[in-house]
Amino acid sequence: MNRLTSILLGMLLASSAATAQQPAKVTADEVYQQRFTTAGYLRRAGAVCRDDSKRTIDAAIGLVSGDDMKAFSKSFPGKIRAWIAEGKQVFDIDVRQGGTRPACEAAMRERQKAEETGRR
């Protein structure tokens, strides 16, 4: 994963976790974008990487499976599709820039963060 991607996904997950503690600093729309973008990233990684792909896809689903996320998704399907596509594109860029193995290794680290965020 290139440095920019790592920073982007790290900020997305960190901001999402911080929102649970300090909701006034991040808008709901930002939380949804962060989670759906990361879910798209992990869904693509789950499709490409052979290392525990079910767990990776489950982590992606866990990020967006709450009732509020489902309601937002039904209300704004176009936004959701765009955010998920953005996350998939980030993973594809990582593969093109550094190769499949490094991209998958980075995705597994992001999966761990997503699993921790999804449990909150």
Q: Provide the domain limits for residue 94.
A: 3-118
Q: Is the pTM of this model over 0.85?
A: no
**Residue at token pair 């990582």:** 94
Domain count, the chain: 1
User: How far is 44 from 61, CA to CA, in rounded Å?
Assistant: 12
pLDDT score, position 8 = 59
Mean pLDDT value across residues 81-88:
96
Whole-angstrom distance, CA of residue 30 vs CA of residue 103: 25
pLDDT tens per residue, range 38-53:
999 999 999 999 878 9
| pLDDT for res 29 | 85
Amino acid at 50: R
